Amino acid sequence: MNWLLVVAGGMVGAPLRYLTDRAVQARHDSLFPWGTFVVNVVGCAVLGLVTGAAVAGAADPDLRLLLGTGFCGALTTYSTFSYETLRLTETGAALHAAANVVVSVVAGVGAAFAGVWAAQTVWS
């Protein structure tokens, strides 16, 4: 039964990732992969909220499977982040590639911490 929760979350997260990526990237005329950046940071924040809620006792294991593993797992994309960074480097946009790595990691980890903090503030 647990795998159905992961599948259900993934069925929402994967198309949302694609649609969000396309919508965000269409609004930016830039080499920087804004679409991937946005979905990854949002996914980190959601996972932080779910994790913080779980630590505070407000999220049951089913919700963590549905949102944390399924939804966030399908929404976020380390492989696309890596590929886009590689492509930026290959096309001579090394500064954009370096910015993608640094900004994505800092923003993603920051969003996860903020999500945990927000959840613990609400449910403590």
Q: Whole-prediction pTM value?
A: 0.95
The pLDDT of residue 35 is 97
Please, what is the average pLDDT of the chain? Answer: 96
- Summarize pLDDT for 87-121 with one digit per residue, the tens: 999 999 999 999 999 999 999 999 999 999 999 99
Burial class of residue 9 (count of CB atoms within 10 Å of its CB; 0-12, 13-18, 19+)? buried
CB burial readout 48-81, b (16+ within 10 A) else e: bbbbbbbeeeebeeeebbbbbbbbbbbbbbeebb
1 pLDDT band, cuts 50/70/90, is confident
| 18 Cβ contact list (under 8 Å, min separation 6) | none
The stretch 52-60 carries a mean pLDDT of: 92
Q: Any idea what DSSP says for residue 1?
A: -
Evaluate whether 39 touches 75 at the Cβ level (below 8 Å): yes
pLDDT tens string 78-87: 999 999 999 9
> What is the model's pLDDT at position 124?
81
pLDDT at position 61 over 90: yes
